[in-house]
């Protein structure tokens, strides 16, 4: 999953022309949110 997200981010970075920052934010936002939710859920288990 992580490897695929890195490949997708790299593909988006190289194919986006002028709006690279916006494209990278759109690709990385779901992974960032899932990581935050994972950290929140792991703290509640303890």
Q: Which residues are CB-neighbours of 15 under 8 A, at least 6 positions away?
A: none
Q: Which residue has the higher pLDDT, 36 or 46?
A: 36
User: Given a cut of 60, is residue 39 above it in pLDDT?
Assistant: yes
Question: 23 is written with which tokens?
Answer: 């494209």
Using CA atoms, how far apart are residues 18 and 1, in angstroms rounded to an integer? 28
- Give the pLDDT confidence score for residue 46 in this predicted structure: 56
DSSP string, 1-12: -HHHHHHHHHHH
Using CA atoms, how far apart are residues 18 and 7, in angstroms rounded to an integer? 20
Sequence spans of domains, the chain: 2-45
């Amino acid at each position: 999953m992580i490897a695929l997200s890195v490949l997708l981010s790299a593909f988006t970075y190289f194919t986006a022309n002028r709006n690279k920052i916006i494209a990278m934010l759109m690709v990385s936002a779901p992974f960032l949110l899932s990581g935050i939710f994972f950290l929140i859920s792991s703290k509640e288990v303890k």
